Amino acid sequence: MKRILYFIFILLLIFIFGKSCIKADIPESNTFSSANAEAEQEIDYPKSPRNITINNIDYLQSQAPCGNYGGELISSIIGEGPKTFNPFTATDATSSEMGSIMYDGLFTTNAVTGNIVPKLAKSYEIKGNDYIITLRHGIKWSDGVPITAEDVLFTWNDIVFAGLGNTSVRDMLIINGKLPTLTKLDDYTVKFTLPTQFAPFLRQLTLPIAPKHYFTQKPDWDKNFDTFLSTTTKPEEIVSSGAFRLKEYVAAQRVVFKKNPNYYEINLKRQRLPYLEKLVFLIVGDFNNEILKFEGGELDVIGLKGGTVALYKGKEAKSDYKIYNLGPDTGTMFAAINMNTRKNKDGKFYVDPVKQRWFNDRNFRAAIDYATDRNNMVINVAQGIGIPLFTAESLNSIYLNKNLKGHSKDINLAESYLKKSGFYKDSNGILHDKYGNTVEFNLYTNAGNTEREAVCVMLKQDLEELGMKVNFKPLEFNSLVNKLTNSYDWDLMVMGLTGSPLEPHSGKNVWYSTGSLHLFNQRPAGKPATDKLNFEKELDDIFDIASLKVNFAERKKYYDRYQEIIYNEKPLIYLYSPIRISAIRRKFGNLFPSSLMGLTYNIEEIFVKNTEETK
């Protein structure tokens, strides 16, 4: 029966890939290449926006067709909604997305080529280790105050380099033990000086720029930075630079943005963007509620999963929506294993020493890997709309190590790995270690994420075939994050991380031994990694060296090796990659779907068609 179901879902995948793909003829050597090779519909992507100066104001001019003004686009948030509106303290995907709507960076990513292109910056010049950035003259924050070099200096020197908020970007920019330096050349020009050549640098400048006058309005702003722009902040007080500014937040119900009248991007008629008056996110709780709201016409766009793909594809021709296949997810989902052997300030181990022996035994981790039935997860959880994943890089990464082929579930091989380390089953089929301890541990994920909860149920069943007793304990997201990054009191955890298919260095915080997201062997903040595992030492070296290599082929050799280490050592066991399928109402124009950026990344260009155009 399983084989029949698998065959059906493979046919479904072929149908979807063959009929709704995005095609972009892009060189693979140095730019992003679409995961889909053939297409029934080819997207006519507009040229990149260009600079245009009008009355001494340096606008960014969209090259997309001109649209109609007015209307709204209603999207959704699954889960509990944003935890903060501060883009510099956000640690979850929803909060980061809300921040990216309100605040632009110096640069952004071209959705077709993957190249870095100016945003708040007008231009840049590289002279040796100096990056000279020229800002747009005359553009303003939402409250009318000019955006200047002072805002850039404040963002990087006083927030990022000072270590406030989420330190991920700061950690990624430590080059040979040093941070870049930033100086002001004039009111609209800044200079970053790097210790040496650093390949990922421009991509880090996509970080949002903060309005200095707003962030520092209170004398003790830095002491209260982690609570600044909380979800209780009055929307009308928030100063931002993006196409939309916050209008309303109702906890557990909705987030509403309204257009920013001071936005610096214009259309071909030299009219200010965005076209839409409002951008609305309904907080729907879970995928089932999301489906109901889309069917009821309350949502304009939705990401489809599993069996809903075939259902909606079958109704597409006579519907008011269109379906797009965006290729494999750019993030990764995995089971992390807690290998922490340290003690807390009270002298107690974070992890039970008995479990420490198991989790730090490569044979034990290999047994978990080979007992995991990824194909079954794709069939029963993703309902065929996914691909088994074995690598730390996503399947559409230009740095993917294609030599790592993966494997099927092999319970006999899994048991042989356990036997090598002295594990045995008793007469009741219960697994014990060589000292007689019963193998029992907890498995966590975030409650309410139905996909991850289903994955955990299946993983629990797989591991129980080995005689392990697995206690599945879904937790509220904030409690889960606290265990992961503060108390370190957990055993196994199914989690996901967003990623970049263009830049592995964005994952340095995960793989570097002192990284704030070094999940499997987390160290207290500020503690040097003097007790590295052997493979941790090599990972540190790889991420130090690879970032200094400018040539793509040279860099890829190092990133191939890091993926090989993770594949062999298995501190994180990757599960599968969903295929991103989205549906959106046909009433919207200027849709240019991207395997890299998604469906509505160009929200400032999207507009509502008139009735005749929709037909």
Domain boundaries, the chain: 93-226, 332-578
pLDDT of residue 86: 97
Residue 14 has pLDDT above 70, yes or no: no
Q: Which amino acid is at 150?
A: E
Q: Mean pLDDT, to the nearest integer, of 425-443? A: 97
Identify which of 511, 499, 503 has the alpha carbon closest to the alpha carbon of residue 562.
511
In the CATH hierarchy, which fold is given to the domain comprising 332-578?
A: Dipeptide-binding Protein; domain 3 (3.10.105)
36 Cβ contact list (under 8 Å, min separation 6): 17, 21, 22, 23, 325, 327, 595
Q: Where are the beta strands (DSSP E) in 389-490?
A: 424-425, 431-432, 440-446, 469-475
CATH number of the domain at 93-226, out of 3.40.50.1110, 3.40.190.10, 3.10.580.10, 3.90.76.10? 3.90.76.10
Query: Which tokens in the block code for residue 372?
Result: 């995991």
276 in Cβ contact with 590 (< 8 Å): no
pLDDT in tens, 237-254: 999 999 999 999 999 999
Query: Which tokens in the block code for residue 278?
Result: 């409002």
With H, G, I as helix, E, B as strand and everything else as coil, classify residue 562: helix
6 vs 579 pLDDT, higher one: 579
- Cβ contacts of 609-612, under 8 Å, gap ≥ 24: 609/67, 609/68, 610/68
Identify which of 446, 318, 300, 461 has the alpha carbon closest to the alpha carbon of residue 380.
461
pLDDT in tens, 168-188: 899 889 998 899 999 999 999
Tell the residue number behind the tokens 């870095």, with chain if given. Answer: 116
pLDDT of residue 12: 45
Residue 213 host element (H or E): helix 212-215
575 in Cβ contact with 443 (< 8 Å): no
pLDDT of residue 37: 31
| pTM for the predicted model, two decimal places | 0.83
Instruction: Out of 7-11, 187-191, 227-231, 487-491, pick the least confident.
Output: 7-11
Q: Mean pLDDT, to the nearest integer, of 429-451? A: 95
419 Cβ contact list (under 8 Å, min separation 6): none
pLDDT of residue 30: 32
Tell me if domain 93-226 and domain 332-578 are identical in fold: no
Q: Mean pLDDT, to the nearest integer, of 419-445? A: 98
Residues listed for the chain: 615
Band of residue 478 on the pLDDT scale cut at 50, 70, 90: confident
Cα–Cα distance, 26 to 33 (Å, whole number): 6
Q: What angle do CA 84, 90, 96 make, to 5 degrees?
A: 90
Cα–Cα distance, 228 to 159 (Å, whole number): 13
Q: CA 502, 592, 239, 115 torsion: positive or negative?
A: positive
Instruction: Out of 17-21, 141-145, 537-541, pick the least confident.
Output: 17-21
Q: Mean pLDDT, to the nearest integer, of 290-317? A: 93
Identify which of 106, 110, 140, 111 has the alpha carbon closest to the alpha carbon of residue 124.
106
pLDDT of residue 526: 66
Average pLDDT, the chain: 91
pLDDT of residue 307: 78
Q: Which amino acid is at 193?
A: T
